[in-house]
Structure 1
Amino acid sequence: MLCSSNVWLDTVAVDSSSITSLVRRAALRENENHFNYEKAHNFKVQTFRGPHWCEYCANFMWGLIAQGVRCSDCGLNVHKQCSKYVPNDCQPDLKRIKKVYCCDLTTLVKAHNTQRPMVVDMCIREIEERGLNSEGLYRVSGFTEHIEDVKMSFDRDGDKADISADTYADINIITGALKLYFRELPIPVITYDAYPKFIEAAKITNPESRLEAINEALLLLPPAHYETLRYLMTHLKKVTTNEKDNFMNAENLGIVFGPTLMRPPDQNTLTTLNDMRYQKLIVQLLIENEDVLF
């Protein structure tokens, strides 16, 4: 009786985890048409010229300097005290987003009203059209100056950037530009908040328990980060199906993308070195189990 009770409890735990995952996926599917990702305001202290009223409480902003704060992404003006109560409903104004690289991921997708950063979509589309069989894909580096050219093109032209074979014949330039985008994110795809949970999961030796822990860690990611990671892993799984030509399996891709997608919150050199094998393992497992985890 005790044995069957334990089995029942285990089943409930697994079912609960599965249900949570299904709810998350359903919410993301709903977002596919609306891209209604939640985003906090990016408030900075502001000195206003002339009279200004708080857009939250509608009261006057008193003082000669630093009367309040302004969201640098959407332009909302409020008292500093009121900023603590403003909901996470920032709708970034595209005119205020000066660049694509080094821009917060959620801010970028909300500003452009896209499901994922356009850099990710455009680069992956180009790579899948003409690069899946390229030897050492993602491991071989393109010329740094050409990768910088692609970066400047995205920053200047957005989704009108030309990354076609006519402009950049070497596919390694496009893979380099994609990796650079991920490296320069102010908050990594696997966020600082979720990072410890992923590292803890990587240290678990039991394969099933480890996957369950990774699944729980994935649920901590903001929707835009989750969706970007899901899309990237689906792509990298395609890369591994061409391993006989490109010589890139999940482990090799884990070595490349581990430190690209994950960074420890404290940025300590020793921590980074110690965590590298776990970063590699997490990305490897995400690729190998892409159909189960996402």
Structure 2
Amino acid sequence: MRSKILSILMLGLLLLSAACSAQPAASVPTEAVEEQAAAPAAEAEAEAPAEARTLTVLAAASLTESFTELGQLFEAQNEGVTVALSFAGSQALAEQLGQGAAADVFASASTKYMTAVVDAGRVNADDAQTFAYNKLVVIYPKDNPGELTQLQDLAKSGLMVILADETVPVGKYSQEFLDKASADESFGSDFKENVLANVVSFEDNVKAVVTKITLGEADAGIVYVTDITADAAESIGTLDIPDELNSIGTYPIAPVADSQNADLAASFVSFVLSDEGQAVLAKYGFVNATAE
């Protein structure tokens, strides 16, 4: 009888133990599971590097220093973006675009060449905006071999003068200055003729004029005031051209119509026109164009 009772008690204990171990585990809310699964994906997305993209900007040679800085600032503000800058005379850049060269932004030193690329179908006319103005200045080697003291001295017999070619914006503006001066009694009607007789070379961009004068290859040249960089100023002297005789260079900029980076191109143009962009241009001597 006693063994029967013990058997019943042991069976009861076994059944009680099995019942306890069969209790269901506490359930985890569905939302928590989804959040845990999404967390690694979100972290991976946040850690992924920005897509590498290149923005190609064709810019007039006189913009070399200012656009180099603008490009660096734009890269710093746009992760993964590289600004590829190509500098040359505006006429050469317009010709490249007319022949189908791939680019995203065009910045010209003359409305003439912006109009040319509009006519070629590479830029929409409504997208072109003036972003800066520039002025002319006469430069000469620091030791002043031509003994220049006034603008009239450009017409002295035997002086060696270097100008940009008339197809280059600064060359065209230089010719306009000579025309205005020749109409001024203090210069004489033959001033332009005499100056052109002194020209020993016509260069295809303004930087070439600066370089040759700093090297002492001629007695005088005409460039933009923005070309008098800190380095150039150590090797050259200047003669100012008064506003009534000067020709103001107008600089337009526009995104290229078939740009493969249309959003970046528009952003770069906006950056150049912004207060920050205009401050950089002013630092290099350009006249603000957005305060009109």
Question: In terms of Rg, which structure is larger?
Answer: 2
Mark yes or no: TM-score above 0.5: no
Q: In proportion to residue count, which structure has more helix? A: 1
Highest RCO, 1 vs 2 (Cα 8 Å, sep ≥ 6): 2
TM-score calculated relative to the size of structure 1 = 0.22
